[in-house]
Chain A
Amino acid sequence: MQSAMTKKEIIKELKVTAIENGTVIDHIPSHSVHQVIRILNLTDYGDQLLIGINLESRKMGKKGIIKVSNKYFKPEEINKIALVALSATLIVIRNFDVTEKKQVSVPDQVEKIVKCFNPNCITNHEEMPTRFTVMDKKELKLRCRYCEKITARDNIVFL
């Protein structure tokens, strides 16, 4: 009983630990948390960064959460993570208040962050950004603007 209470308290603590200013990314699939950190370039982040993995969630069973102090993301930056964490919620905090809350969404175009899986595609041989049109947001099928091949969820590698 005692230990369950403590656990609950810890979870509660984690959920509500207020950051004064910054961004909370909630409802990340636990296994994608590390990828999200990499995609958002937070590996060497200099300010406070709170990371929770396998936290209890009513919605998801288990979830991950990342709280980034003193950092706000542009929509095109944050939507990149939709490729690995479609369920994620973005919460913007200013002066301890939630000023914005929204779902991330798979963008129509994916630029610069995904590698084309076709080894003979020009993007893998020339210094140039990759560009994909998202053909299927649910199944994550990305069609390369250049070689016209489909890079699917299982083949996605981030640059």
Chain B
Amino acid sequence: MMSADATTHELPLSEPNLKRTPLHALHLTLGARMVPFAGYDMPVQYTAGVLKEHLAVRAGAGLFDVSHMGQIALRAKSGDLADAALALERLVPVDVLGIGVGRQRYGLFTNDAGGILDDLMIANRGDHLLLVVNAACKAADEAHLREHLSQTCEIGVLERALLALQGPGAEVALTRLAPECAGMRFMDVREISILGAPCIASRSGYTGEDGFEISVPSAKAAKIAGALLAEGDVLPIGLGARDSLRLEAGMCLYGSDVDATTTPVEASLSWAIQGVRRTGGARAGRFPGAAIILEQLCTGPQRLRVGLKPQGRAPVRGGSVLYSQAEDGPQIGTVTSGGFGPSADAPVAMGYVPAAFAKPGMRVFAEVRGKRLPVDVATLPFITPRYKRA
């Protein structure tokens, strides 16, 4: 057979240009299989393997090293956070001003064509906004912020580690070290102390489960990760399972499901655009691509991102062409992410179809190894999220 894993890039044994997170040595100690990702040497799985790691997160708790992602602080030069919020609103179609202290929102950097430059989390930290951005985009995002916001804002990259603790057992595991996190609800952000280190925790994640994303000082990251793993009820989880978890949860992967050519409306992310930024709202538009995006919000987009449920056992992967017919007929769309969902115990995927096909139960066909396989449009997510909302 071919050398197996399509996500493992063939590289010479020493790759001196790969960056390392503060947990790199820990990953090796834990028996991780490392792969390059966004310029970093990252664990794709540990000894348990992708399937078991995925199931462990939904059944108990898992710890992810996501330190490769970017953490950027935005402060208003005026000293008034509202000015930083309003400045950022020039780059994102989000009600940033309305994010309360200690709360965060999902956001999108858009471009002049209405496409998406990156997706991110925006947290109100009282005296600054904390942005968490994708690893592959963080340099471009920083440049984007500097280009447009330097007059009104101080922009600072935080060199800190980032851990994600996810699963129904996440709260029990974290409260052992930081009892104050128990009172947090979904999308709260607060400072917590772990082993004497000042950390910033949000109750959020990329798995569809309850959990926390924790920014920790780099020098303390290995010790904190070790403490979280010590009791045995938290497993280390690699990027392989991170991808299958977010896919089942219907969440976009930047560069696959959303990119510079997809608008938030096409991507079924209209929910992230609060009313105040839409036509008729007090701060409507005034973000890149506003004309196109607001138009699509009114009249509907030509295509939509939908869930896709292959009807057989064969996974349907990103890049697969979609057709409306079992034979003949033109391409109608594309699969943008797909794989096997361990919790769904079935193949799951998502992709773009024409708006007329974007109804749950519509039958389309995906080309896999030269054959057209039946696939049904499905609602997302494929699992039931268990966020701690109340």
Partners in one complex: no
